[in-house]
Amino acid sequence: MSLTATRTRKGRVRQPVHGVGRLVRRLDRERRRFLHATTPEIPTEQAWRAGVAEGLRLAQLAIRKGV
């Protein structure tokens, strides 16, 4: 990511948002919860859970990168 991508309209560099670490940890906790089922599942539900977990993982990466 280049420096120009992190600049705001007035030319100032964007500061990191506070609390990002807490958000990333919460997303990780939710992702783990969605990965493990407590009861036997049908394949459709299993695929849905895997999709949700992958979406949460991608959200974590985007937050860490500052996208």
Q: What is the pTM of this model?
A: 0.55
Evaluate whether residue 51 is within a structural domain. yes
The token pair that represents 4 in the structure block: 């120009």
Evaluate whether residue 5 is within a structural domain. no
Range of the domain at 39: 20-65
Evaluate whether residue 33 is within a structural domain. yes
Evaluate whether residue 14 is within a structural domain. no
Evaluate whether residue 1 is within a structural domain. no
Q: Is the pLDDT of residue 8 over 60?
A: no
**∠ CA(40), CA(46), CA(49), 5° rounding?**
120
Evaluate whether residue 9 is within a structural domain. no
Amino acid at 59: A
**Each residue's pLDDT tens digit, 17-29:** 567 788 888 888 8
Q: Is the pLDDT of residue 54 over 50?
A: yes
pLDDT at site 18? 66
Q: How many helices (H) and strands (E) does the chain have?
A: 2, 0
Evaluate whether residue 11 is within a structural domain. no
Evaluate whether residue 45 is within a structural domain. yes
Domain count of the fold of the chain: 1
pLDDT at site 12? 60
Residues 58 and 39: their CA atoms lie apart, in Å, by 26
Segment 8-25 mean pLDDT: 68
